[in-house]
């Protein structure tokens, strides 16, 4: 949800480069609080969130905790596993299924 109360449910995150993972380590906010690494990293990799195209650390800081956790898992999935398919569970019926979180990795 942005500062105007608009909810954004779609977005684009690009694959990380070595540079993307190294540069945040020099950020003073990360040096003072290592937990801030994911905020800086995600702000570099998320290229669009709904109608927002200028994604900075302030946008990522204001995500709901559940949304931040989702994006962290998505980052790990596409950058470490190399696949956008994630297993999930329906919160209502508890049915387990796979979700294709994006089929254009690297594109």
Q: Which residue has the higher pLDDT, 65 or 96?
A: 65
> What residues does each domain of the chain span?
11-100
- Predicted confidence at residue 5, as pLDDT, reads 84
The string of pLDDT tens digits covering residues 40-94 is 999 999 999 999 888 999 999 999 999 999 999 889 888 887 666 667 778 788 8
Residue 70: its H or E element: helix 65-76
Structure-block tokens of residue 13 = 């995150």
pLDDT recorded at residue 106: 46
CA distance 74 to 14: 11
Q: Cα 107–104–66 angle (5° rounding)?
A: 110
Residues in the chain, how many? Answer: 107
Average pLDDT over every residue of 13-42? 95
């Amino acid at each position: 949800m942005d500062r105007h109360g608009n909810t954004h449910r779609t977005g684009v995150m690009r694959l990380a480069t070595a540079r993307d993972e190294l540069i945040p380590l020099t950020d003073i906010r990360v040096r003072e609080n290592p937990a801030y690494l994911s905020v800086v990293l995600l702000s570099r990799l998320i290229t669009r969130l709904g109608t927002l195209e200028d994604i900075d650390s302030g946008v990522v800081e204001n995500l709901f905790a559940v949304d931040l956790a989702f994006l962290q898992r998505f980052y790990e999935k596409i950058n470490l596993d190399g696949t956008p398919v994630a297993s999930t569970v329906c919160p209502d019926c508890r049915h387990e299924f796979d979700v294709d979180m994006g089929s254009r990795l690297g594109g």
